[in-house]
Amino acid sequence: MKSNTKNAKGSGTIRKRSDGRWEARYTTGIDPKTGKQTQKSVYGKTQKEVRQKLTEVTAEIDSGTYLEQTKDTVGEWLDTWLKTYALYSVKSYTYDAYERSCNIHIKPALGRIRLSALTAPQIQQFYNSLITEKELSPKTVKNIHGVLHRALGQAVKLGMLRSNPTNVCDLPKAHRKEIKPMEQAEITKFLQAIQGTKYGLVYQITLFTGLREGEVLGLTWDCIDFQHNAIYINKQLQKTKKVGGTYCLAPTKNSRNRTILTAPSVMALLRKQKSQQAQMRLLAGEAWNNSWDLVFTNELGGHLCHCTVYKKFKAIVRELGMPEERFHDLRHSFAVASIESGDDIKTVQSNLGHATASFTLDVYGHVSQKMRQQSADRMEEFIQKVSG
């Protein structure tokens, strides 16, 4: 069965090819550049199979739900998405993380599959293998899913996919790590141990303000208001994830700026840092270069390195018999101390820069040993009163 006549949009012709297969050609519309009909084909082993495919595709054309089948593979689309969309819509640090997820995990597993043929079961098997074979954490798998979900979501917007297959995939449940804030006695030991050390003031400011590591290392003097005991948090020191990556001052996490009012003792520590930095500048002479006007610098005015500050911190807490403590636990310790001191959750949320108070409650819904003991003491007092 063959026709050489031009067809209306959505109609088609069926013929048997010389290789034995059946082919149905159909018209998708008019090319605006040439004015000629745009035709596509579907193939099958039998005339019945091809006729069914033709019926389905012409119905889609008539209803306006037809999608042009892209020839791009998943890998090719990821490359396009990264360079055309992601590069200009996220921070450089985030882009590097996206690129690593694509190159190290997604493309090796799914990259050769035709984008239009990618299915939810294929993606689910990929996620499962990340857990069972590569032994990645649920949080890491969730991050990889986020990249693929966003890339395929853009393909849907462009009409390359009818729906996003990642929407119906199940992710492994991530369990939040138990936070380990320092108890009061541990904080006292820690403060004694860091007195006079190279990064002692960095650790103290972090402990007494709850700043993230990147925020405290990216703090600049123009954001310190000594008159009103305030610190304006509007950036963080960040290093790109590429090998040999460079440091930069980037927006804060979630791009949320905030102002925190601090204790006078914190301002005293910052004044001390300003004095010490002035001495370093004199010693460095012409070699001094603090172009970012950072609060915390090395001996020549350059930025501090996250890994160096972290390694020194770990060495100190190990010597104190607290090897499980992380730098981020200084932030947790600040939050718990604030709650124990009577700060409401909304204030703690604002100081920490969390997006919502519910997130703050979720993280710090536990109570410290001191608070548990206080609760038991109050209950004992109540029991004694009602027991006569």
> Would you state the pLDDT for residue 8?
41
**Residue at 69 is within a domain:** no
Helices then strands (H, E): number in the chain? Answer: 15, 8
Q: What does the pLDDT average to over 65-86? A: 85
**Residue at 223 is within a domain:** yes
Q: 133 pLDDT band (50/70/90 cuts)?
A: very high
Same domain for 28 and 146: no
> Would you state the pLDDT for residue 136?
92
> Would you state the pLDDT for residue 370?
66
Same domain for 360 and 216: yes
> Would you state the pLDDT for residue 359?
83
Compute the chain's Rg from CA coordinates. 30
Same domain for 323 and 241: yes
Higher pLDDT, 74 or 362: 74
Same domain for 199 and 273: yes
How many beta carbons lie within 10 A of that of residue 193, not counting itself?
15
Q: Of the given ranges (164-168, 174-178, 353-357), which has the lowest mean pLDDT?
A: 174-178
Same domain for 325 and 227: yes
Of 42, 63, 84, the last residue of a domain is: 63
Same domain for 235 and 205: yes
Burial class, 122, CB count within 10 angstroms (exposed 0-12 / middle 13-18 / buried 19+): middle
Same domain for 87 and 25: no
> Would you state the pLDDT for residue 162?
82
pLDDT digits (tens, 9 = 90+) for 363-379: 886 655 666 777 788 88
Q: Of the given ranges (11-15, 84-88, 111-115, 221-225), which has the lowest mean pLDDT?
A: 11-15
CB distance 260 to 230 below 8 Å: yes
Same domain for 130 and 84: yes
Q: What does the pLDDT average to over 206-220? A: 96
Q: Of the given ranges (5-19, 119-133, 212-226, 281-295), which has the lowest mean pLDDT?
A: 5-19
Burial class, 163, CB count within 10 angstroms (exposed 0-12 / middle 13-18 / buried 19+): exposed
C-alpha to C-alpha distances, 272 to 21, 105, 201, 208, 361, nearest whole angstrom: 83, 47, 9, 15, 35
Q: Is the pLDDT of residue 66 over 80?
A: no
Higher pLDDT, 388 or 44: 44
Q: What does the pLDDT average to over 252-257? A: 84
Q: What percent of the chain has pLDDT over 90?
A: 56
Q: Is the pLDDT of residue 64 over 70?
A: no
Same domain for 339 and 191: yes
Number of domains in the chain: 3
Between CA 85 and CA 77 the distance in angstroms is: 11
**Residue at 270 is within a domain:** yes
**Residue at 118 is within a domain:** yes
Q: Is the pLDDT of residue 7 over 80?
A: no
pTM of the model: 0.68
> Would you state the pLDDT for residue 4?
37
CB distance 349 to 205 below 8 Å: no
Question: Which residue range(s) make up the domain with 101?
Answer: 74-168
Between CA 206 and CA 334 the distance in angstroms is: 8
Burial class, 273, CB count within 10 angstroms (exposed 0-12 / middle 13-18 / buried 19+): buried
**Residue at 173 is within a domain:** no
pLDDT digits (tens, 9 = 90+) for 20-54: 899 988 887 666 667 777 777 778 899 999 988 88
Between CA 155 and CA 149 the distance in angstroms is: 10
Between CA 351 and CA 211 the distance in angstroms is: 8
Same domain for 343 and 260: yes
Same domain for 228 and 95: no
Please name which of 135, 127, 117, 116 lies closest in space to residue 168, comparing C-alpha atoms: 127
Give me the CATH number covering residue 262.
Answer: 1.10.443.10
Q: What are the phi and psi torsion angles at 366 (to 5°)?
A: -80, 175
Same domain for 250 and 155: no
Higher pLDDT, 374 or 144: 144
> Would you state the pLDDT for residue 3?
40
Q: 93 pLDDT band (50/70/90 cuts)?
A: confident
**Residue at 31 is within a domain:** yes
Across the chain, mean pLDDT equals 88
- The single-letter DSSP state of residue 102 is I
> Would you state the pLDDT for residue 38?
72
Give me the CATH number covering residue 140.
Answer: 1.10.150.130
**Residue at 380 is within a domain:** no
pLDDT digits (tens, 9 = 90+) for 150-162: 999 999 888 788 8
Q: Is the pLDDT of residue 284 over 90?
A: yes
Q: 101 pLDDT band (50/70/90 cuts)?
A: very high
> Would you state the pLDDT for residue 43?
84
Q: 181 pLDDT band (50/70/90 cuts)?
A: confident
**Residue at 315 is within a domain:** yes
> Strands 247-250 and 230-233, how do they pair?
unpaired
